[in-house]
Every structure is written in C-alpha cells, then in structure tokens.
Structure 1
C-alpha cells in the first residue's frame, strides 16, 4: 500500500475514501445514508492503523467463507467476505480499513486472490486502494459508476472493470445486477456444486456444503431473526423499497439455484431453503406494503 493512498481522507460516517481533502461526503448526503448530527468528520488509513485491527471469522458451516471484520467497527461497519474456491479466491464487498497484516494474508492464500467485487456504493469504501495493494481487478457495476468517488484518481495501471447485468468472476462464481437499493445493486452467487470433492486421503471432519449460496449485502437483507428477508431503499433512514423493485429482484433470481444466503454482516444467515424463504418473504413484504400479485403477475392493492 502506497503512502499516498494511506493518507487519503476517509469519511468516518460511511467509510468512503476520497482522492483529496474535502468538506462534504456525497455518499452521506444521499438520502440512503446520513450526515451525523455532529457533522462530517474524516480519518485516513494511516490514522486507522494505530487503533484498528482485522479479525477473520470463518463460517461455522463452511470455512471457505470468511468474514473480514474490522475491530473496532468503523463507518457503517462494512464486513467483506473472503470466498475461497478451488479455482481462486475472491473478496466480496470492501471496508475502509486495510492493514499490512491483511495484505500479507491475502497475497499468500493457497488459492490466489482473483478479484474484488462490490455490491453497491455504500461498500465502495477504500476498494481502489485494496485493488492496488492486492494487485487484483476491481469489479463495479456500470450503473453505479457515478457513485465511485475515485474516478478522477484512476491510473493507467489500475484494473477497474465496470460490468452490467451479469459477470462471471471465475468457475462457479458470478455477480448479478438486481437493482433496487441502487440501480447497480448486486449479489454474488457461488455454485458450490462445481467444487471438486475433497481427496480421499484428506477428508474434512464434517460435510462440506455443496448447495448454491448467494451473498446479498443490502440488495436482499437477511432480517435479524435469520428466518426471513426484507427489502430497503434506505436502511438507516428506514425507507422501504418500492414493490415493483422487489418484483424485479425476484425476477432476476427466479432461475438461480441456491439453498443458503447471507448478508454482509456477522449472524445474518438463511441456512436452509433460502430460495423458498425468499419467495415467502416477497409475499410478506408486499402484503405489509398493502399489495399482492394476482394471477397475471400484476400488482393489485389489498382490500383493507
């Protein structure tokens, strides 16, 4: 990580890194986020390194999934995933803080790191710095390009790949644009059925999941109950997503095979029957908003 990147300003409220000193944060000023009552405040990677550390939290069922947690929490406490497949490793979403220790760990993985992919602008954070330090491509949905605050800071040797609709990152791993929370809001799907079986002389002590899994971030939020999903246009300001946007997300995922789902924070899992839970969650959400879908797949207002 360069000294230049380490000194760039980072918004303390949302964790977005900027290419130069400024007084305001467009991410926080957008109604999906907020400017704290105390006002906008700033930090940097150099400052954070004196008080922050990383903790790796492997999933209790599949150690190939690992949360990268910043302690103490910073910004909106973005918690990226490290996903390790047979053909390479991937980082899903990004945080503000990046330590030399984490760089060392991620650059010496058994399955080399192949890419970083971001779900939506609230997780852009310091992703360009992460991409540079780790020397891997950064995938950002084209529809959210305007929210990427370091466009003016991109160098010729930076590898930023703007994509749309659907993009394969590697065998069995792809990102899918769903919209809703932001126009480019996306999920990551890992088809674990494409993973080869473990060698007979090195079998794991417990079964390794083989079902499909979706990493949803804010696009489809796992409720704290971990029994249902919900859909929000703004989580901190408690603004629900429009029913038509929810149905558009449902349509994008209807042919996708998955059995589990997780949002980008600890303890936000749907461990089984996630696809069925998703369908039930859509029905419950629409009903709470006063709508249902009729036999022609059209929204009709509930009679109350």
Structure 2
C-alpha cells in the first residue's frame, strides 16, 4: 500500500501534506498558533481515506433558516474537528460553496451535483481550509478563492487556486461579493449575497442570535481591538443585508442583521473599556448608506 500523501489533523480537520520523509509532521501549522490549540495528549493525525473507511461519518444537508431553498448547510455528523459548516449558495448564475469541511465522499458530491453543482469555492479563513483541494477536484477542478493575506497558511492549494487581493471581490458577474476586513486573520473575509451576510469567524453569531462578537481567538478568548472591530463594521456599512449566517448550523440572525452588527460593534467597544464616540459617529450617520 502506498504511503499517504497527506494527513488530516484531528483537532482542526486541515488536510496537510506529508513531510519530506513521507510521514506526518510533528505539529499542525494551523493548530500550533495562538488562535488555535494543540489537543490535550498532543498532535494526532489520520487520513481522509481512513476517516471515510471507518463508516462513522456522513454529511447532512440542512436548509438554512435565512433562505431554506437557496442556501443549504453541509455539515458532518457526528461532528468532526471544529465542526463548521459549508454553505451551498444557489444563485441564478451558478452555485458557490462558502467555506469548506473536511469530510467529502461520493454521496456528498452526488447531492451537490443534484443541486446544480459548483462553480467555485470561497473560504473565509485558514481554520476552514480543511479538504479544499479534494473538494475542488471532486467538481472538475473548480477555482478556490482565498485571500492573498493568508497565503502562508495554504498548505495544499487547489490546482486552480486564486489568491485574490484587495478589499472586495466580485464573482458570478457581481452576483456574489466577498469582502476582506481582516481581524480574526489578516485575510478574514465575509460574503454578501442577496440580503444575506455570511460571516464565518470574522463575526461570531452569539447563542442568543441577537448579537455578534469579534475575536482574535475564539477558543482562547482573545478579543480584537476596537479599531479592528470598526474596520469590520466599515466594510459592511455600505451594504443592505437582513440576515447574518455564522459558521455552524442554526447560528443565524434572521432579520435586522445590519443593525445588530452595528449595535454589537458599539457594545463590544464599550465593554472592552474604550470610548464609543471615538470610533463611531452618531447612529443616524453610521446607519445611513453611502
């Protein structure tokens, strides 16, 4: 049996190439970094083939609350690694997958194709790179878009990998808009489609679904500074959106999303000990469209 060419981190689910000797690395580049963590007991690797062969996991397709017909969550059960979802966005100009998950099998590919297939994959930040190369190859080598600011974290790029630059990216003739305000990572991105803002970890939808949070590290509880929070608000301020979709199934704010993001940014600034007026104008000015 040939040695595996890549290994999957048990903690974050990122598919990582073998080292020069053909073995797994001693640590995971993604986890051995202040925003993540090495699991208790040390680094552990498996392979994607062994994950599929054990028969314990499968992917489920769950209609989102924000748009049940046109945005479908894809997640793995039982939860694997971080447990984030990908979101299949069905648009009149083609389908996009927002964020990636580790597990992919023939049944998953068939289900996605039944929904109309994929034209591209857009990934928000390095914690969700997972099995991006395998997902791209399963759909005829479609492009994978990650921001150039996070290029150092891409260990297994897709054959058609696009490292885009700047603060905005338009896809599908402007049907999809991707924003890069940074914050959680230098290349952390958001996606706008129709009346929906997809936020991954750039914003974190709270358990109450009445607010969002802004963190440099969520598992290690390190907050972002107020100027970074303001940059995130400034990036979405020019756009109309009602719904905010987070990284997990059910983490969705349906309605009033733009106001909730703004009020959360102010509260976050206030409760971190900073003067709100230093960063934000009067409410009417902030909430007005450019």
Give the Cα–Cα distance (whole angstroms) in 2 for the partners of residues 268 and 247 of structure 1: 22
- The answer as to whether partners of 1:222 and 1:263 remain within 8 angstroms in 2 is yes
- The answer as to whether partners of 2:230 and 2:279 remain within 8 angstroms in 1 is no
Matched, 1:161 2:159: no
Residues 1:228 and 1:125: Cα distance change in structure 2 (over 3 Å): same
1:226-273 per-position Cα deviation (integer Å, ceiling 9, x unaligned): 000110110100111111100111111110111111101012111111
1:152-184 per-position Cα deviation (integer Å, ceiling 9, x unaligned): xx6xxx110111221112142121101000000
Deviation at 1:61, TM superposition (A): 4.8
Task: Point out where structure 2 has 5 or more consecutive residues left out of the alignment.
Answer: 19-23, 282-290
Give the Cα–Cα distance (whole angstroms) in 2 for the partners of residues 258 and 189 of structure 1: 8
**1:64-83 residue pairs with structure 2 within 5 A?**
64-83=70-89
Match of 1:14, SS state, is coil
* Corresponding position of 2:190: 187
> How much is the aligned-residue C-alpha RMSD, in angstroms?
1.9
Task: Point out where structure 1 has 5 or more consecutive residues left out of the alignment.
Answer: 192-211, 299-304
**1:1-304 residue pairs with structure 2 within 5 A?**
8-20=6-18, 21-49=24-52, 50=54, 51-62=56-67, 63-110=69-116, 112-135=117-140, 136-151=142-157, 158-164=159-165, 165-170=167-172, 171-191=174-194, 212-294=195-277, 297=280
Match of 2:17, SS state, is coil
Give the Cα–Cα distance (whole angstroms) in 1 for the partners of residues 152 and 32 of structure 2: 15
Match of 1:294, SS state, is helix
Residues 1:266 and 1:109: Cα distance change in structure 2 (over 3 Å): closer
Deviation at 1:108, TM superposition (A): 3.7
1:202-234 per-position Cα deviation (integer Å, ceiling 9, x unaligned): xxxxxxxxxx11000000111011000110110
Deviation at 1:5, TM superposition (A): 11
Give the Cα–Cα distance (whole angstroms) in 2 for the partners of residues 95 and 13 of structure 1: 13
User: Taking structure 2 as the reference length, what is the TM-score of the superposition?
Assistant: 0.88
- The answer as to whether partners of 1:64 and 1:83 remain within 8 angstroms in 2 is yes
Runs (4 or more) in structure 1 with deviation over 4 Å come to 3-7, 295-298
- The answer as to whether partners of 2:6 and 2:15 remain within 8 angstroms in 1 is yes
Match of 1:48, SS state, is helix
- The answer as to whether partners of 2:64 and 2:250 remain within 8 angstroms in 1 is no
Deviation at 1:6, TM superposition (A): 7.8
Residues 1:273 and 1:189: Cα distance change in structure 2 (over 3 Å): same
User: Taking structure 1 as the reference length, what is the TM-score of the superposition?
Assistant: 0.84
